[in-house]
Structure 1
Amino acid sequence: MKKLLLLSLFYTGAAFAHPHAFIEMQTKALVEQNQLVGFSMKWMLDEASSSAVLYDMRQARGEAEKQKLIDEVMNNVVNEHYFSYFFDKNNNKIKYKKQVKNYGVSKEGAKVQYYFDFLLAQPKQLENNEFTLMTYDRTYYVSMYYPEDKSAVDFSGLPANCKGYIEAPNVNEKTRSYAASLDKTQKDEDDSLGVMFAQKVKIQCE
C-alpha cells in the first residue's frame, strides 16, 4: 500500500508553479506560570492533498494500521523540527523537544487536518522578552500560511504584559514571478525561497 505521508507534500505535486500544495495553519501559544512552553498547531491540507491522504487511510487495515500511518507522519514532522523556526529577541534559535504531544488527524468536510503540540526544550520567561515563530517549507514547494481570520493565532494564554500579532511578509514582484516560474521538478537551490513568503508570529512582552 502506498503511504502518502504529510512530508511527501513537500516533494511531490502536480501543479506547474510554486507552491504546489497549501497548508492552512492555526497556532496557539502555550503558557504556564508566565513562561512560554510551546505551541499547539493545526494544519489543514488542501482538498487535493487531503483526497490522497484519505485514500491511504481507507486502504489501512484497521485502526492500528491507521494509527501507524499517523505516527509515521508525526515522526517525520518532528525530524524536520516541525518545519518551524523560533527565535528570541537576540535572534537566538530556540530548540524544541522531540516528543510531540496530543497529536492526531481529523476530517473537516473534504479536508484533512493534522493537529499536535510541540514543546520547547526549556520554558522561556516571557517578561522583557520578544519571540518570533515562522513555519514554512524552505523551498516554497508547499505554502504554509495563516488565513486572514484573526483567530488563526490564539494569544489568549499570554499574560497582560504581552501582546501577539502576525507580521505579513514583504515579497517583491520579482520574487513572486520567480516562484511562479518554477515547475514541479525544480526547487530553489539555496532553500531560501520559503522564508521570503513566511508569515511571522510575533510575541512581545514588557
Structure 2
Amino acid sequence: MNKVFILLQPNWFSKISFIFTLLFPLTLSAHPHAWVDTNTYIDSNETHITALHMTWTFDAETSTYMLQGEDISPEKIDQTLQRLAESVVGNMYNEHYFTYLYDGNEPVRYKEANHPQLIQDGNKLVLSFELPLSNPIAFNNKKFKLYIYDETYFVDMSWLDKSNIQLSEQLTAKCAGKLVAPKASDELRAYTLSLASDVAPDNTIGQLFSQKYQLHCP
C-alpha cells in the first residue's frame, strides 16, 4: 500500500465536501491530513452486479474534527452520528461518491446512496452506505475496474489489501479479482509534497495515486 501525505488547506474545505463541509470550523488554522481506509462489498444476484456496499474508516484526527462542536453526550450521540452520516453521504452526491466503476471502458452510474450510518470504533469514525447501480449489469464474460479516490491530493483513500474487497457468493463462484497498486513516480510524489500552501488543488493527482481493483468474470 502506498500512502501519500496529503495537505488540507482551509481555503479548500469546500472542495472536499464529503468530510469537511459544515463539519469543520472555518477558523481552523492547522493543516490536517486525512486518510480513509476503505472496504467494499460488491453485491449481485445470479447474473447481475446490483450494488456496492461501502465501509470507510476515517483516521483518528479526522474523526475528532468531524465531531468538533457536536453534541456527543450519551443522550444525543446516536442522533448526532446519524445526522452526520446523512450529511456526509449527501455531500458526496456531486462527487460521484468518489467511487468509479467501469464495465470495460464504460463508466457505471449509480442511484442515490442509501442506508448511511456512522459509528464510533475506538477513536475512529466508521461510515457505511449502500451504492445501488442505476441499472444492474450482467457480469458474465465481462471485465470491470473499480477505483475509489479524491481527485485532489487532499485525502488518501485506500484498500489496505485485497481482503478489503469482498464479492457476493455468485461473483465469488464465477469471477477473479486483483488489486493493483498505483504506479506514481518518485517525481510525482516529490511534486505533490512540494506544492505550496496557497496553490489550488490539482484535480488530476488523485487518480494517479489511486489503487485499481480488476474483476474478471469469464
Give, in whole Å, the separation in 2 of the partners of 1:183 and 1:152.
34
Residue 214 of structure 2 corresponds to residue 202 of structure 1:
yes
CA gap of 1:169–1:53, structure 2 versus 1, over 3 A, is same
1:46-195, aligned counterparts within 5 Å? 46-58=59-71, 62=76, 63-64=78-79, 66-89=81-104, 91-98=105-112, 100-148=113-161, 150-157=162-169, 158-189=171-202, 191-195=203-207
Question: In the alignment, is the contact (CA less than 8 A) between 1:29 and 1:36 conserved in 2?
Answer: yes
Question: In the alignment, is the contact (CA less than 8 A) between 2:81 and 2:119 conserved in 1?
Answer: no
Uncovered stretches (5+) of structure 1, i.e. residues with no partner: none
Q: How many residues align?
A: 195
Deviation at 1:201, TM superposition (A): 1.5
User: Which region of structure 1 is more displaced relative to structure 2, 72-81 or 120-129?
Assistant: 72-81
Percent identity between matched residues is 28
SS at match of 2:173: coil
Structure with bigger RCO (C-alpha 8 Å, 6+ apart): 1
TM-score normalised per structure 2: 0.80
Give, in whole Å, the separation in 2 of the partners of 1:49 and 1:13.
14
Q: Deviations over 1:141-167 (max 9, x none)?
A: 10111113x421112531422111211
Deviation at 1:6, TM superposition (A): 4.1
Question: In the alignment, is the contact (CA less than 8 A) between 1:50 and 1:112 conserved in 2?
Answer: yes
Q: Deviations over 1:50-92 (max 9, x none)?
A: 1112334436884555533322211112232111111111x11
Q: Deviations over 1:103-133 (max 9, x none)?
A: 2001111100111110110000010001111
CA gap of 1:97–1:130, structure 2 versus 1, over 3 A, is same
Which residue identity does 2:86 align to in structure 1?
D
Give runs of ≥4 in structure 1 deviating > 4 Å.
63-66
Deviation at 1:93, TM superposition (A): 1.0
TM-score normalised per structure 1: 0.84
CA gap of 1:65–1:43, structure 2 versus 1, over 3 A, is closer
Uncovered stretches (5+) of structure 2, i.e. residues with no partner: 1-16
Q: Deviations over 1:155-202 (max 9, x none)?
A: 25314221112111111100010111124443444x110000001121
SS at match of 2:190: helix
Question: In the alignment, is the contact (CA less than 8 A) between 1:14 and 1:184 conserved in 2?
Answer: no
Question: In the alignment, is the contact (CA less than 8 A) between 1:139 and 1:187 conserved in 2?
Answer: no
Give, in whole Å, the separation in 2 of the partners of 1:185 and 1:47.
26
Deviation at 1:43, TM superposition (A): 0.9
